[in-house]
Each structure stands twice: as C-alpha cells, then as structure tokens.
C-alpha cells in the first residue's frame, strides 16, 4: 500500500495537531449550544472520530453516506445518497464534517438539502480543501489544510475504496489510476 504513494503531503502528526486547533475553535463557536455534527461517509469517518474527541461542548452525531466518485479520480457530478440521516435537522445547529472539498458538488448538494429541511444554522468543517478543483463557488467556515491539485489518498480518502487506512495523506502515483 505504501509503495503506491508518490509523496507524503501531510504527516500524521501535522494532521493531529491541526485537528486539535480546529477542535478548540469549534468549542468556542458552539459554546452554550449542542450542535448536531454530521459525518459525510465514508471519507470523513476518521476525521470525525478524531475531531469530536477534541470538541469540549456536548454534541449529537449523525451519519450520512453519499458518493459521487466511485472507482475514479473525477466526480461523476451525480451525488448519490446511500444513507440518509436518522435525526431531524429542523431548528438544529448543524456542523457538517467533510474530509475534502474538491469540485464542491457533494457539499453544495448537502447544504441545499439541509436548508430545505430548515436547519437553524449550517456550518462546514473540512480537513482538506482543494480550491483548484471547484466546479461551484463554495467555502467551508473551517478548513484544516489547503492542498494542491493532485489526487490524494489516506486518512479516510480513497481511490477505488483503498488507502483510507493510511494515517497520513499522500499523493497517489499516477500509474496506479491510469493503468
């Protein structure tokens, strides 16, 4: 698995340090409130697990599974809901937890959907932001790292369902996805 990585872009230690900072900021943002923290599966599951441990206000959690990449490195443009929320978002302060914003299509779809369900507020925390990939205008309120234009894997990010369990984020060797 490690042999398929061209370069480690962000180390495990750097990721964990940044998550502690994000946790502190979010704890201030939501002081006195109990946000509903939504994990966008599958990619965000590791980030969600590490992030909620460093948030000091009470939170409720729910999970949604959406997919638009499948076994490719390009968004299909069609966001497929594989699992919806169990909880009503009506009147709730919603914090969406994403691993990466690339084209922005997944999040713009989710934000529209949650607005339609009358959330009181919707904010986004993403660990990685790849602004060069954007197809729609969209920015997260909280971003861990701005990353360059390359297909990344690790720390939840997959290529064809593999590499999610790497503890760091790396650039996949192009020969892996062009072969």
Residue nearest to ligand PRP as judged by C-beta position:
43
Of residues 50, 93, 99, 102, which has the active-site annotation?
102
Q: Single out the residue of 30, 39, 42, 51 in contact with ligand PRP (rule: CB under 6 A).
A: 42
Output 30 or 163, the one with its CB closest to ligand PRP: 163
**Shortest approach of ligand PRP to residue 3 CB, angstroms?**
22
| 102 flagged as catalytic | yes
Output 93 or 158, the one with its CB closest to Mg ion: 158
How many CB atoms sit inside 10 A of residue 96's CB? 24
Q: 133 with 114: CB under 8 angstroms?
A: no
Is 147 a residue that touches ligand PRP (CB under 6 A)? no
Residues that bind ligand HPA (CB under 6 A): 69, 100, 102, 151-153, 157-158
């Amino acid at each position: 698995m490690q042999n398929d990585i061209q370069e480690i872009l962000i180390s495990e230690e750097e990721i964990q340090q940044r998550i502690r900072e994000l946790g502190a900021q979010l704890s201030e943002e939501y002081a006195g409130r109990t946000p509903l923290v939504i994990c966008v599966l599958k990619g965000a599951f590791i980030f969600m697990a590490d992030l909620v441990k460093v948030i000091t206000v009470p939170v409720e959690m729910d999970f949604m599974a959406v997919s638009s990449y499948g076994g490719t490195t390009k968004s299909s443009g069609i966001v497929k809901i594989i699992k919806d929320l169990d909880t009503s978002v009506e009147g709730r302060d919603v914090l969406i937890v994403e691993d990466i914003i690339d084209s922005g299509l997944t999040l713009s779809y989710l934000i529209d959907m949650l607005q339609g369900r009358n959330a009181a507020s919707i904010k986004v925390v993403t660990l990685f932001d790849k602004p060069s990939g954007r197809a729609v205008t969209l920015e997260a309120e909280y971003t861990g790292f701005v990353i360059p234009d390359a297909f990344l894997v690790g720390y939840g990010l997959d290529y064809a369902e593999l590499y999610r369990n790497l503890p760091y984020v790396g650039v996949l060797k192009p020969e892996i996805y062009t072969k």
